[in-house]
Structure 1
């Protein structure tokens, strides 16, 4: 390994400032996990990605890119950056997450020496290797859904000198062959906690995962497993974005149609649907997708065929039109009222309980107001 790479790793470790993960950051070479190319986002279009190839940069330029504390996209809609023949239009489907966030995830999961860990989403293999460096190869099992991403990660992990248990498969099913685990950590967002996860973690162990619903508002939860497929815990202060597990992505959104439905006044200003406010709305209407147009907010539940449109009126208030069997805005109004009545707490004021029968998010404490997550 070059002196330049070692120096950049030290600088990155200094910036992140983690005590428990400092040695791993010093020793694991992130540049090996970027492969031969990464995607650079276009400055004018969110869906346009241009490959940056290692062969087209100097060694120092590539190392500087690797040790910049930012996320590098490595796959867009199934096309690896090294396989792209030019700019690609689409959405990221795999990436090397910003190292500071990787370490924050590992710290939040309370991973320590002696723990046996199941990682959901191998990705590039960088976080997998950090855990191998600290815990040892035999303590780490990592599962990746995408065969191309998994093969790329396997090569990089092996090249870096590590040998965890690597599995190609559906991480939502966990990996029962090596259960029980002390810690389960996910590097992809889920809509609900898969039933297999608490079943494969020992009582007293933890599940730490990003969560994201169909309104695309994310959260970060840390659960303690109680046995019998149950777990409970609180949402954390951090705001995280991770790619959603593919089976948990929303269906295609139907076209927007304006002016449909029965009108009535609403006292809820739709501009509050940002940040935690949007997350609360997502709890109340978990099957709905949201979009904004000129002077209007739209909600569509494709499965139920329900719609809502909220628009400001000439008197300075707001009018909602709703159509379909599920009155989307009615539920959102009620949830926003409860949240505002509690002082508009951050997500960390909420918790989640998981049982084999149901999952629900609660406000304040487990006996407080609650919303069921979709089955």
Structure 2
């Protein structure tokens, strides 16, 4: 049986071989930080279950340590309250609300942030503390402040960080409000997704500083952006290659809603293939066009449900080999989605890295190609 140190070295070797680890300082952090201290127990999804069921994996059980050193996200909390050690049943269901992000993504994000020794960095979302430990190893404890929304999660992270020998500045609070003491930072990294850039971030990161954040929404499509703050309250940047997703920050998550009831509406042919919404970037473009809608379904049978107005759109195959859409309510959701998707298709359906974002006092706008290209306002 391999030891934790051997498994950690093997994982770091794999991440070096696949190009994740390209800088010695971050490689040293990956080889030094004991992930097992931050994932004393976690949930494993049970294959084939709908809705997904989870099995607790606890310290000392067969396969637990090997699971810690897989390049996988490990779920550590369900429904904002249930942790693996709270579960007495063999399996449990629920919605993931906290996790230890897969190591390759943690390390790629720290690389992309461009944080160096001497920088002051604000991390939004301490989570288990594993990413925080990676950052503290590179920057030193004095260079890193981390904010966690959930007090239970934050206390567990503080214990694990102390056990691992790190003592960065930790805060329990709403990270979307930034540092409650108003400190200034050179870099900000978010390990949760947001619907828009919180204004405190844009005032606490110094001009010339960078913000690395995942933009998401109520359809849970994600895109990773790197922005440079140009002046207090303003920033611009581009979306990055790859496929990055994070749980949405709880204050930005959709409000509770009743179970959708599919009601009659106006029917017409669809001008796009609904299955395009299953594409990584296609679904995100649709979310930009209908930011207050939740997306259900898949393939030719998509359902959009507007959380704020109750408007609906649902698609289905028609008898002519195309698709039909039924819309209901004050917001014509599918009309908006079609216009956005056709603009994206007209330029060859590029990945998100073809898009950029500009934040000013007038609003927050995602654009395609160039600043004056087609664009969509984020909901703020």
Q: Where does residue 13 of structure 2 map in the other structure? A: 14
TM-score by length of 2: 0.93
Partners of 2:175 and 2:262 in 1: CA distance: 40
Name the stretch that deviates more: 188-197 or 61-70. 61-70
Partners of 1:63 and 1:318 in 2: CA distance: 49
Q: Render the CA deviation track for 1:118-159: whole Å, top value 9, x for unaligned.
A: 000001101111111111101000000001100100000001
Q: Where does residue 196 of structure 1 map in the other structure? A: 200
Q: Render the CA deviation track for 1:180-209: whole Å, top value 9, x for unaligned.
A: 111100001111111111111000001101
Q: Where does residue 77 of structure 2 map in the other structure? A: 75
Q: Secondary structure at the match of 1:273?
A: helix
Q: Deviation of residue 7 (structure 1)?
A: 2.3
Does the CA contact (< 8 Å) of 2:275 and 2:298 recur in 1? no
Structure 1's consecutive aligned runs of 4 or more residues displaced over 6 angstroms after TM superposition are none
Q: Does 1:149 align with 2:153?
A: yes
Aligned length: 370
Partners of 2:355 and 2:341 in 1: CA distance: 14
Q: Deviation of residue 88 (structure 1)?
A: 2.1
Q: Does 1:315 align with 2:317?
A: no
- Where structure 1 has 5 or more consecutive residues not aligned to the other structure, the ranges are none
Q: Does 1:24 align with 2:34?
A: no
Q: Deviation of residue 323 (structure 1)?
A: 1.4
Partners of 1:289 and 1:296 in 2: CA distance: 14
Q: Where does residue 59 of structure 2 map in the other structure? A: 54
Partners of 1:252 and 1:65 in 2: CA distance: 34
Q: Where does residue 355 of structure 1 map in the other structure? A: 360
Does the CA contact (< 8 Å) of 2:225 and 2:238 recur in 1? yes
Q: Render the CA deviation track for 1:6-30: whole Å, top value 9, x for unaligned.
A: 2222222111121240111111111
Q: Secondary structure at the match of 1:177?
A: coil
Does the CA contact (< 8 Å) of 1:259 and 1:321 recur in 2? no
Does the CA contact (< 8 Å) of 1:235 and 1:351 recur in 2? yes
Does the CA contact (< 8 Å) of 1:113 and 1:135 recur in 2? yes
Partners of 2:299 and 2:110 in 1: CA distance: 42
Q: Deviation of residue 176 (structure 1)?
A: 4.4
Does the CA contact (< 8 Å) of 1:253 and 1:300 recur in 2? no
Q: Where does residue 277 of structure 1 map in the other structure? A: 282
Over the residues paired in the alignment, what is the CA RMSD in angstroms? 1.8
Q: Secondary structure at the match of 1:34?
A: coil
Partners of 1:69 and 1:227 in 2: CA distance: 38
